[in-house]
């Protein structure tokens, strides 16, 4: 039997496999396990599997595998979920560090009596702008309709494309997302964020996520990337409220880039394996 816990951050949901005391899923099976159990009809259903273990350099180590069996560098919403789980288990206090493929991530948590109000603030990787802008070119259906977009390329631990539009509800994200996601500018692919300025220091975004190959309800690194590009273009200030489809995140841009948002435990169970 394999114990697991499911959590979500603004609807971006994850299965946590606790390997703090030792390996549960062998490394050569981790990707396939994610493919099987992220499936929403025949598995548990999730946007990814988080493997939690001890670290030689940080308090915790996180690996994330996605439904297509790829391993992502990191995940902002996933780190909040992992940190909450670790705090609940007594592995860490209200501050901790997490080792990821994108580097060391610092987390601080606020845990009131009402668990639904749990929030975590994460020191994100410094946004790295790959180049000022790229044309959205490619082959296939719908390309001609997105050639008018300006696509900004930025890395926030994970490669992202950021596209500003007048109204995100009108975007056919299932058509436009894959074209930009597979653009040759991103040799490892990219998450694609369609962004609408909704007011002063307020953005709305929808994200087509690499590895899931579809729209997710929230993307923490995408919210950070979108806020960073908007700030770079002088559209917002240093504190940016980002409304994802699944809920709000707050991005703080300064010497250290920070993301603040919730995490909620959904349920725990066991897998007969």
Instruction: Read off the pLDDT of residues 173-230 as tens digits, 9 standing for 90 and up.
Output: 988 899 889 887 788 899 999 999 999 999 999 999 999 999 999 999 999 999 999 9
Residue range 14-22: average pLDDT? 98
Which tokens go with 271? Answer: 């897998």
The catalytic site residues sit at 75, 219
Per-residue pLDDT band at 114 (split at 50, 70, 90): low
> Would you state the pLDDT for residue 74?
93
Which tokens go with 143? Answer: 């390309």
C-alpha–C-alpha distance, residues 30 and 53, integer Å = 13
Which tokens go with 119? Answer: 């929030």
Per-residue pLDDT band at 111 (split at 50, 70, 90): confident
- Beta strand pairing call for 202-209 and 239-244: parallel
> Would you state the pLDDT for residue 115?
63
Q: How many CA atoms lie within 13 A of 251 on its CB side?
A: 34
Which phi-psi region, left, alpha or beta, contains residue 216 (left: φ > 0; alpha: ψ -120 to 50)? beta
Domains in the chain, CATH or no CATH each: 2-125+260-271 (3.10.310.10), 128-255 (3.10.310.10)
CB 173 within 8 A of CB 180: no
- Chain centre distance of CA 199: 24
Residues in the chain, overall count: 273
* Maximal C-alpha separation, the chain: 53
């Amino acid at each position: 039997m394999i114990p697991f816990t499911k959590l979500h951050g603004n609807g971006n949901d994850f299965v946590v496999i606790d390997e703090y005391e030792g390996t549960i899923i062998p490394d050569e099976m981790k990707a396939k396990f994610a493919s099987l159990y992220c499936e929403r009809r025949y598995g548990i259903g999730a946007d990814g599997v988080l493997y939690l273990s001890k670290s030689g350099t940080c308090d915790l180590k996180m690996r994330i595998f996605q439904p297509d069996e790829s391993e992502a560098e990191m995940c902002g919403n996933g780190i909040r979920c992992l940190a909450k789980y670790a705090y609940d288990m007594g592995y860490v206090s209200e501050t901790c560090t997490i080792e990821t493929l994108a580097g060391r991530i610092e987390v601080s948590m606020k845990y009131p009596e009402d668990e639904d109000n749990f929030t975590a603030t994460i020191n994100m990787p410094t946004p790295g702008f790959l180049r000022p802008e790229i044309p959205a070119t490619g082959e296939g259906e719908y390309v001609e309709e997105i050639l008018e977009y300006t696509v900004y390329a930025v890395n926030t631990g994970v490669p992202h494309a950021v596209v500003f539009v007048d109204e995100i509800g009108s975007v056919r994200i299932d058509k436009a997302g894959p074209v930009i996601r597979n653009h040759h500018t991103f040799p490892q692919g990219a998450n694609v964020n369609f962004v609408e300025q909704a007011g002063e220091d307020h953005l709305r975004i929808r994200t087509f996520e690499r590895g899931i190959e579809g729209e997710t309800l929230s993307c923490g690194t995408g919210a950070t990337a979108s806020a960073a590009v908007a700030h770079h273009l002088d559209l917002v200030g240093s504190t940016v409220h980002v409304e994802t489809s699944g809920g709000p995140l707050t991005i703080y841009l300064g010497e250290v880039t920070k993301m603040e948002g919730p995490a909620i435990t959904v349920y725990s169970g066991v897998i007969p394996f």
